[in-house]
Chain A
Amino acid sequence: MFLIEVIRLAFRTLRSNPLRAVLTLLGISIGVGAVIALISIGSGVQRYVTDQFTSAGTNVITVTPGRMQRGFGGGAFAQPAQLTMSDWRAVANEVQGTSAMGVSFSRASSIIYTGKSSNVNINGVSPQVGAIQGWTIASGRFIDDADIASRSRVLVIGQSVAKDLFESGEDPIDQSVRVNGLPFRIVGTLVAKGASFIGDQDAIAFVPITTAQERLFGSQSQGTSGERTISTILLQANDDASRPAVQRDTTQILADKRKIEPGEPNDFTVLSQAELVNSFGLVLAALTTFLGAIAAISLLVGGVGIMNIMLVSVTERTREIGLRKAIGAKSGAILSQFLIEAIVLATLGGIVGVLIGVAGAALASRLAGIPADVQPASVILAVGFSTLVGLFFGLWPARRASRLSPIEALRFE
């Protein structure tokens, strides 16, 4: 009951000098706002990136030619190694524990239709690639085995390509377009995935891999051994548990087939989607924590501001303290009065800071197109932390107040 009284008193005191209260509170608000905004944006970006990777299918393992030199992101390949169709067949025949697998050969090109053109990546693929990469058919069908066998000139297009080439309301299915001078028939369109940090995912088209290697890009797919080369092997592991084994087996199969001596570096890269997500996530989480910590320092500065104001307030109200002691306030009552005033100030600052932070995150994501996830945990943490800041920085001034001698305090001018 006494506590309610003291909290009420704290509010009344703060209201009696609103400008000072607001300015003091702002120190905390800015700190909390910065923490909330940075953590929200950080975790928003993290989720966004994770979504982008996993939308391509979970448990997906990719095999690409060349050795990845720098850890993540660099993607510089040491020597122009080639993966070929026989590598693909070796993996396809031998590896266990997969639910789907596919192969692709991709080159950039353009698709022409009645004078309009669309610059895209033409992906020559085997039938299961669509499912592994997480594509959904919007209309028509995907590439099938018959297309592969007959090297047919059929094309499945993404939404951006459809937009480039066709008017709205115009049905792309069965329309004839040209790629590298050859006529192709559109047999399917894909549901849009949206833009990602690697660009427009929907600027894409699929053709049978045999058509791409032999009809569209014949000379480019001619490997040094006389075999057709490929861009990527895609494997989908049955589940999380089997993924490491699939990755290990694939590496072994290819190393054996390509006669790489033990101890020699591989001239190909087997990468799992999960690893990519994890390493990216770790980098982002570290960055978010780092920025959050910098912002938290400003919270401490806000706390020093509170201590300063509370010390001024104790001095200004020396007579009030003397009077309260004269009429029967024990030291504990004075201590809790000033402590709670500091805590109320800091907590109010924290709440205002959350509002600032949420607004800031929303604004940043509006302006920069970055998504922002306001984490309930970070809100609770920030408000809780500012309460602690108030407690910590309010303690000393409050103790000072509680220890004043009533006689001297009453005599204070």
Chain B
Amino acid sequence: MSLPQGVRAGLLVGAVALALVPLSGDRFWVQFAGKLMITCIYAVSLDLLVGYAGLVSLGHSAFFGLSAYLLAGLANGLGLVSPLATLPLCLAFAGLAALLIGWLSLRATGVYFVMVTLAFGQMLYYLFSESPGLGGSDGVSILQRPRLAVLGRTILDLGDRTAAYAAIWVALVLSFLLLRRVVQAPFGHVLTAIRINEGRMRTLGYGTGRYKLAAFVLGGVLAGLAGYLDATLYGFVNPAQFGWRQSGLVLVTVLLGGKGTLYGPALGAALLSVLEHFAERATEHWSAVVGAAVIAVVLFLPRGVAGLLEGSRG
């Protein structure tokens, strides 16, 4: 379960390189790399479900969207701007939603689980895009970004792009390290074994439902973190963030990168972001280019890009 040597070095280099991006002073690239890191958090949060617990969720965007919308609501409706208040509230809300949706969807297994999670995501999509009170199909602008002030002096303003970028970087590093710990702990081993043979785990005495629900909630909280950061970076939320396209895209990212490795999906998120960026410039049919790349990886690298790296290990 330990990381291949080259991967460990690559992750360090990647983290340092990302930390240096703001030095370029280029607004576009800072925004681009910020978004890329948010996608990484999103993807590793789903990898816990798909790659470890074997729960293929097509409703993961629900938690991203709920947390992002709650931030907009707290800022616009209540004028709550301190991240010390909004961050815990948004994460707790995402976690509670995951508890409820997970509790209901985990009654189904296999493809039915996929369908139920998909249905929850779509329900929220329609709810938010068709309720004017919730912003409707246009979405909502966040009037005040999270800002931390002590005695009237602002010490952290996430409306500032560089500050937001730094916060995203820290969040990515912490999320990754947290998930590494979780999957290497007994809890992670139990999840893996449940994925392989759930029936046997039950006769060995494991209440497998509780483990799967715990994984679902933890994944939901981290997706909520990604949503919070996304809303902070862009100052804007919209109902498409709930849609199945978003959930599908993260799932593709996880599979492309290599599920069950954590670093694979993070790598997948980075690769897809870069590929999309350049394909978008080269041709208006860029989504076809990205699609072809995805098909090629799925056909020729069944374990994703990570499988390629692990395969080359001594």
A, B: real partners: no
Binding site for B on A (CB under 8 A): none
Chain B residues engaging chain A, CB cutoff 8 angstroms: none
